Amino acid sequence: MPVYSYDPPERFVAGTVGQPGERTFYLQATLGTRVTSVALEKGQVSQLAERLDELLDEVTRRTGAASGAGSAVGETDDGPLDLPLTEDFRVGAIALAWDHDGERVIIEAQEESDEPLEPLADDVPDSGPAVLRVRITAEAARAFSRRAIKVVRQGRPPCPLCGQPLDPSGHVCPRQNGHRVGHG
């Protein structure tokens, strides 16, 4: 099982390739010339951003913001994904944790597999699915979350009736008994 570990990365971002409606989403960690890119679903990116914010809000609540987890500082990285873009694996499960001693967020993205994710295990088995493990500061996690939310929102607008994505030509809306709903 390959473990792609970044403690810390120089860069950790969510990004996409392709046009809205046909985008592929990636998490990408970079350190020097080493780049790891893992593909995942739009919903996974959205949930990761939400859970990161929830985790940091909880850390702030418990520690009184002494850890910097409540800080909104930190520049958002709006640059493109690093090229060449090579998919190392497709993500099945994601785990998050807060390392209180190191004051870092730990993010693990595990390759799609029938094996359950054993979150944040220090001992890595010799076989099994690949894992991307990233340890970042609270400020870097907030910046990652801001970018991830922005990337997700850059997709197709939702139908005002059913919430499904609208194509440029509209879509057949289940709330309109199969009638086409136009864009915008």
Q: Are residues 25 and 38 in the same domain?
A: yes
> What stretches in the chain show pLDDT beneath 70?
65-75, 116-126, 182-184
The predicted pLDDT at position 73 comes to 52
Q: Are residues 96 and 162 in the same domain?
A: no
Q: Are residues 90 and 166 in the same domain?
A: no
Q: Are residues 162 and 103 in the same domain?
A: no
The predicted pLDDT at position 148 comes to 96
The predicted pLDDT at position 149 comes to 94
Q: How many domains does the chain have?
A: 2
The predicted pLDDT at position 67 comes to 52
pTM: 0.81
Q: Are residues 26 and 67 in the same domain?
A: yes
Q: Are residues 168 and 133 in the same domain?
A: no
- CA within 13 Å, CB half, 71: 14
Q: Work out the percent of the chain whose per-residue pLDDT is above 90.
A: 60
Q: Are residues 175 and 113 in the same domain?
A: no
The predicted pLDDT at position 171 comes to 77
